Amino acid sequence: MIELQDVTLKIRRRHVLNGISLKLGEGSFIGLVGENGSGKTSLLKVMAGLLKPTTGTALLSGEPITRRVASEISYMADDDGFYPFFTAQELFAFYETQFRDFDLEKAVEISEFLQVPRTTKLKELSKGSRGRAKIAATLARDTGYYLLDEPFSGLDPMVRMDIAKGLIRFTDPARQTIIMTTHEISEIEPLLDRIVVLKEGRIIAENSVDGIRYEYGVDATKWMVSLFEEQKSEFRGGAR
Amino acid sequence: MTIEFLPDRPIYQQLVDRIIGEIIRGAILPGEKLPSVREYALEAGVNANTMQRVYKELEQVGITEAKRGQGSFVTEDQNKLQFVREELKEQLVISFVQNIESFGFTTDEMVECLQKRGGKDD
């Protein structure tokens, strides 16, 4: 389980996270959603041990999260400068030297499923193929946690669908936890079990996808819109 | 993704109804094996946890049976199939009646209308 207790994060003088408490148990598919600048990427980096909370604690299975936990977490960054001089094949070979839990056979299987060219340099691939190569390398690690930063952003609908299928096909949410940030939820809603909504470094709501539909009779997108409207009117009313 | 879901009902329920519909319609036959959880999840574009929940619910309804290590099969018990069919019919009638009443129609009026139509479409 990943457990955050009152985590704050200050980068330079900016408050990026403002008191996040969250428990993410094993075996679920979680979306961290919010507008740009809401703190979702920073929150994911705290969970991955890439950023240290300014105050508060971040725990993985009861142990403080440090860079060392990278061995138990498969993290995929949003940036595109992902070893551009490697081919996918070389990227996998490199991953194999870096991570004990990396399964080269699985990497090949995923890249075949997603039709990733394995012998072309990543920088020469289309953005879509690079996105597919990245997800193949990330999912080929057999680990309890996949932390994915904006796996769908900037990709065309076909690639988004391929990546979604790769996630369904090559993860086991009964024993693995998949946490992904996204600012666009409508398309991937059926993939998720739970949604955590962030705004200005705070969690403003958390619910299961089917819970939202059951309680409010709307999909997650509508629910989020109504949340943001509520926040606005609360702000105007002076509350919070 | 592959299946479009309505926004106002839980996704797993929509999948349960969809599969029940396929069984009642005879698109999946008694004794037939359902796709694996993973296969169906992939086809529907939902995660495997959701699909697992769907399969569990179908077993609870009694319309499918899990065989250890082999997967889920449509029941061959005609009584159970008949029961689910009747239940589904009842549900459809209830929502139909609620719907027409909200427009101010009476059931007698609609029965007459349905009988008139009856021969045409069959």
CA of A127 vs chain B CAs: smallest distance (Å): 21
Tell me if B41 and A168 make a contact (CB, 8 A cut-off).
yes
Chain B contacts of A222, Cβ < 8 Å? 7
Phi, psi of B42 (to 5 degrees): -65, -45
Average pLDDT over chain A reads 91
Give a yes or no: residue B91 inside a domain. Answer: yes
More confident residue, B118 or B42: B42
- The confidence band for A235, taking pLDDT boundaries of 50, 70 and 90, is low
A29 in reach of chain B (CB within 8 A):
yes
B45 in reach of chain A (CB within 8 A):
yes
Q: What DSSP state is assigned to residue A218?
A: S
pLDDT attached to residue A195: 96
Q: Domain check: are B83 and B70 in the same one?
A: no
Structural domains in chain B (count) = 2
Q: Domain check: are B88 and B68 in the same one?
A: no
In tens, the pLDDT along A119-162 reads 999 999 998 999 999 999 999 999 999 999 999 988 888 999 99
> Range of B69's domain?
11-76
More confident residue, A43 or A240: A43
CA of B78 vs chain A CAs: smallest distance (Å): 32
Chain A contacts of B42, Cβ < 8 Å? 165, 168-169
Q: Domain check: are B64 and B88 in the same one?
A: no
Pull the structure tokens for residue A134: 């990245």
State the amino acid at position A235 in one-letter form.
F
Closest-CA residue to A194 (of A216, A215, A179): A179
The end-to-end CA distance of chain B, in Å, is 34
Q: Domain check: are B37 and B19 in the same one?
A: yes
Q: What ipTM is given for this predicted complex?
A: 0.84
Phi, psi of A45 (to 5 degrees): -70, -35
Q: What percent of chain A has pLDDT over 70?
A: 96
In tens, the pLDDT along A110-127 reads 999 999 999 999 999 998
Closest-CA residue to A148 (of A36, A19, A47, A9): A47
Q: Domain check: are B67 and B85 in the same one?
A: no
CATH number (3.40.50.410, 3.90.1820.10, 3.40.50.300, 2.40.110.10) of A1-72+145-154+172-240 reads 3.40.50.300
Q: Domain check: are B24 and B71 in the same one?
A: yes
Pull the structure tokens for residue B110: 């609609």
Q: What is the DSSP string of B9-78?
A: S-HHHHHHHHHHHHHHHTSS-TTPBPPPHHHHHHHHT--HHHHHHHHHHHHHHTSEEEETTTEEEE---H
3-state class (DSSP) for residue A197: strand
In tens, the pLDDT along A162-206 reads 999 999 999 998 899 999 999 888 888 999 999 999 999 999 999
- The confidence band for A220, taking pLDDT boundaries of 50, 70 and 90, is very high
Give a yes or no: residue B2 inside a domain. Answer: no
**Residue in A174, A192, A217 nearest the CB of B48:** A174
Q: CATH number for the domain including B52?
A: 1.10.10.10
Which residue ranges make up each domain of chain A? 1-72+145-154+172-240, 74-143
B100 in reach of chain A (CB within 8 A):
no
In tens, the pLDDT along B63-94 reads 999 998 899 999 999 999 999 999 999 999 99
Distance separating alpha carbons of residues B106 and A130, to the nearest angstrom: 61
A173 in reach of chain B (CB within 8 A):
yes
State the amino acid at position A92 in one-letter form.
F
Q: Domain check: are B53 and B105 in the same one?
A: no
